[in-house]
Amino acid sequence: MRVILSVSEKSGIGLLGRGLAELGAEIYSTGGTKRALEAAGVPVYAVSKLTGFPEILGGRVKTLHPVVHGGILARRDVNADLEEISEHNLNAIDLVAVNLYPFEETVARPSTTLSDALEQIDIGGPAMLRAAAKNYQAVLPLCDPADYPGVLAALGQPGRADEAFRRRLAAKAFRHTAGYDALIAAYLGQGDESWPQELPLGLRRVQELRYGENPQQRAAFYAVRRPGKDASGLVAARQLQGKPLSYNNILDADAAWAAVSDYHPVTVAIIKHTNPCGLARVDDAGGLDSSTLAAYELALAGDPQAAFGGIVAVNAPVGGVQAECISRRFYEIVLAPEFSAGALEVLGSRPDLRVLAMPPYPAGELRWRSVAGGVLVQEADCLDDAEVAGGRVVTRRTPSDEEWLALAFAWRAVRHVKSNAIVLAQAGEGPAAGQTALVGMGAGQPSRVASVEIAVERAGSRAAGSVLASDAFFPKADGIEAAARAGVRAIVQPGGSRGDGETIAAADAAGLAMIFTGARHFCH
């Protein structure tokens, strides 16, 4: 048996080398791998002895040679291949262990230059690994140190390294090189504003999940590998306590963190099935702890019934008093940038409650969404503060100062509600000045007026004096009329419908103020 070992990640290489030597393998290696094997007491030859050609170009060319690739790619069941390698005095190679230059780690360093990055693009390693994987029925391709013990065991027991075993290793090798190439393409393509014809996506598994949306569906959680950037979002969360996250937990937690990250200074969201059933913002003039507590209580008041079993997100540190209030009700997850020792002690009384310390929400990244047979990719939906402040008042009445505040809050909130999205909100006055909260929400209905009716029903008496935000235009006056009957005082919507004249007339007839922003914020 003849093998080539050439790895960047040296963990386990001594174990592999000794095991192969005990099986009688003739081992060839390069540079640092050869030194590591020698240090482990493994008899090893330089690849240059196999090729009869020295490493050149500062090590850029070591294994790119017909002796190497002919030995790997020769088909053992094709007589012409065997005769040809014999004619050229080549020997078959039976195992290749390769993992690639640390490109990802290199570009993650802020001091890395383009020249540094280019030197960490492996050429010979992927070529050998792909060649071995192509000819997996004769050559074992190894790219993961975790597989070393299993391969040694299989080689030591006739019949263990069967077709299925080899094929799994080959698939893993091609996934490894594909992810590596995707990372390099992303790095070199940074700043390219066009949509490329081909868009590879490098993913790394974070965890296997117990199941997906339902118990009969298998699922896993993967991180998007982004060159030169730290992990972000739920991938980078630190779980401080509680059961493992489920598929639905991850979706809901992401929606919750996106919602509170859209506001400052202190905001609390309570999410159920990716929609905010509670959302409140409070100025921290009275102190961070009291503001956080007030924001939580206002968010909970948005829909206390729906909040049961939901997810609480806070965009400020959580202390013991806030944790005490949160722990009185059943929630699946609590998310915040950090938790005090006292808060963790209180939340620890509910050991199943998942507590996540979150990094800043990643802004401006592409959003990916799968459909059957394909993937949709789009930029993140960004909101310009001027959309409301600079919006066009289309009614006779102009919003009051408090209504302007509530409209700006509601317009930002409606972006986080599933279409057709309607949000009712109120801004506090007097002692409650600086507090703004969602008081009703309607989502996901096939008609916009149905969402309005649901929102005002959930708001109840709090609909009176509230403002309404709609993620898209009202095609008819019925939604405006339903809002007016409930006591809504001002509306913000994109406008642009053929029925705008009808809706403006309905708003004027009811004494409502209405703003057109000219921007739509669907969230399907």
Is 80 exceeded by the pLDDT of residue 522? yes
Residue 134 designated active-site: yes
Same domain, 300 and 160: no
What pLDDT band is residue 89 in, cutting at 50, 70 and 90? confident
Task: Check residue 431 and give its pLDDT.
Answer: 59
Residue 521 designated active-site: no
Task: Count CA atoms within 13 Å of residue 142 on its CB side.
Answer: 26
pLDDT in tens, 253-292: 999 999 999 998 899 999 999 999 999 999 876 677 888 9
Q: Give the integer Cα–Cα distance in Å for 405 and 388.
A: 10
Residue with more model confidence, 71 or 490: 490
Token pair 């639905």 is found at 248
Same domain, 422 and 335: no
pLDDT in tens, 450-477: 999 999 999 999 999 999 999 999 999 9
Locate 50 and state its tokens: 């196999």
CATH no. for residue 181?
3.40.50.1380
Same domain, 451 and 499: yes
Q: At residue 246, what is the residue type?
A: S
Burial of 64 (0-12, 13-18, 19+ CB in 10 A): middle
Same domain, 242 and 348: yes
Provide the domain count of the chain.
3
pLDDT in tens, 233-257: 899 999 999 999 999 999 999 999 9
Range of the domain at 246: 238-357
For residue 204, is it within any domain? Answer: no
**∠ at Cα 350 (349, 356), nearest 5°?**
110
For residue 118, is it within any domain? Answer: yes
Q: Give the integer Cα–Cα distance in Å for 449 and 485.
A: 13
Locate 37 and state its tokens: 């094997």
For residue 194, is it within any domain? Answer: no
For residue 380, is it within any domain? Answer: no
Task: Count CA atoms within 13 Å of residue 67 on its CB side.
Answer: 16
Which member of 229, 243, 273, 476 is catalytic?
Answer: 273
SS3 320: helix
For residue 370, is it within any domain? Answer: no
pTM of the model: 0.86
Token pair 């390294």 is found at 161
Burial of 383 (0-12, 13-18, 19+ CB in 10 A): middle
Could you tell me if 452 and 468 are in contact, meaning their C-beta atoms sit under 8 angstroms apart?
yes
Q: Give the integer Cα–Cα distance in Å for 232 and 364.
A: 12
Sequence-ordered list of residues with C-beta below 8 angstroms from that of 118, at least 6 positions apart, any chain: none
Same domain, 290 and 334: yes
Is 80 exceeded by the pLDDT of residue 303? yes
Task: Check residue 349 and give its pLDDT.
Answer: 93
For residue 213, is it within any domain? Answer: no
Same domain, 308 and 345: yes
**DSSP-assigned letters across all residues of 190-211:** TT--S--S-----EEEEEEES-
Q: Nearest-CA neighbor of 423 among 364, 475, 466, 477?
A: 466
Locate 60 and state its tokens: 């850029």
pLDDT in tens, 359-407: 998 877 888 888 888 989 888 888 888 899 999 999 999 999 999 999 9
Same domain, 322 and 273: yes
Same domain, 448 and 352: no
Same domain, 402 and 338: no
Which member of 65, 134, 172, 229 is catalytic?
Answer: 134
For residue 420, is it within any domain? Answer: yes
Task: Check residue 71 and give its pLDDT.
Answer: 84
Same domain, 15 and 126: yes
SS3 493: strand
pLDDT in tens, 217-238: 999 999 888 777 777 889 999 9
Q: Give the integer Cα–Cα distance in Å for 244 and 224.
A: 20
pLDDT in tens, 36-61: 999 999 898 988 888 777 777 877 77
Q: Nearest-CA neighbor of 506 among 471, 469, 479?
A: 479
Task: Check residue 285 and give its pLDDT.
Answer: 63
For residue 214, is it within any domain? Answer: no
Q: Give the integer Cα–Cα distance in Å for 489 and 398.
A: 10
pLDDT in tens, 119-148: 888 888 899 999 999 999 999 999 999 999
Same domain, 441 and 402: yes
**N-terminal to C-terminal alpha carbon distance within the chain:** 57
Q: Give the integer Cα–Cα distance in Å for 272 and 251.
A: 10
Neighbouring CB atoms inside 10 A of 162's CB total 9
Same domain, 282 and 141: no
Token pair 């994109």 is found at 494
Q: Give the integer Cα–Cα distance in Å for 313 and 279.
A: 9
Could you tell me if 437 and 425 are in contact, meaning their C-beta atoms sit under 8 angstroms apart?
yes
**Phi, psi (5° rounding) for residue 439?**
-120, -10
| DSSP H/E element including 310 | strand 310-314
